[in-house]
Amino acid sequence: MLLLFVLVSVISFVGSLHPGTVNVAVMQATLSRNRRAGLWLALGGSLPEIAYSGLAAGGLMLLPTGPVWSALLPAASVPVLLGAGVMAFRQKPVDFTTSPAPDSAAVPFWKGLALGSTNPQLLPFWSAVWLYLSANMLIPKGYGSSQWVFAMATATGAFTLLVALVWLTDRLRQRMGRYLNGPWLNRLTGGFFVGMALWQLGGLLFF
């Protein structure tokens, strides 16, 4: 079980390295607010890994085969991404050279949870990983508890990566401060989220 936990945690860590929506939101929250906000957003963004990997490990990924279900999750991500983009555009520029103000933990946590929950890649990705590990005899037989170990490891790897990202972003805050003052960071983050929403919407409409 320990080998399974470590292996899946490493896979989750490496799989989270790409600059996805949660990663960008964690950086933006850490820079524009504080490290605490970034950590809460990281926690919220990591928890959906448990649900999706649990579905994959339990075999539920074989059940929703209809076109309605296949389109539901990608479509649900569009308003979430648009909302995150609009919020970033409307956020006032922050002077990164000064100490950030305290912030409520609730908003970053729920924002991370919403962004992580609407990632359409999680279910097929963890389904493929589970099948790969099973085919290579890395899942112990009688794997009732293996599903929980698998699910917790996915969240552990993702959260570890996001915590490292928070630490690195906060550590470089002062060094990067003179380059980050002004509204361009919020515009860049907002444009990233809106662009992803439009890309997702275009894929749903034309492909």
Q: Residue 69: what residue type?
A: W
The pLDDT value given to residue 202: 85
The pLDDT value given to residue 23: 86
User: Which DSSP string corresponds to 77-135?
Assistant: HHHHHHHHHHHHHHSPP--TTSPPPP--SHHHHHHHHHHHHT-TTHHHHHHHHHHHHHH
Instruction: Give this prediction's pTM.
Output: 0.71
The pLDDT value given to residue 6: 93
User: Which DSSP string corresponds to 25-60?
Assistant: HHHHHHHHT-HHHHHHHHHHHHTHHHHHHHHHHTTG
The pLDDT value given to residue 99: 52
pLDDT in tens, 128-175: 788 777 766 777 766 568 888 999 999 999 999 999 999 988 888 766
Closest by CA position to 169, among listed 36, 44, 47: 36
Which residues in the chain land under pLDDT 50? 60-61, 63, 65
The pLDDT value given to residue 196: 78
How many other C-beta atoms can be found within 10 angstroms of the C-beta atom of residue 149?
A: 19
Residues 6+ apart with CB under 8 A from 84: 21, 25, 111, 114, 115, 190, 193
The pLDDT value given to residue 60: 43
The pLDDT value given to residue 141: 67
The pLDDT value given to residue 9: 94
Please state, in angstroms and rounded to a whole number, the distance separating the CA atoms of residues 163 and 57.
25
The pLDDT value given to residue 94: 56
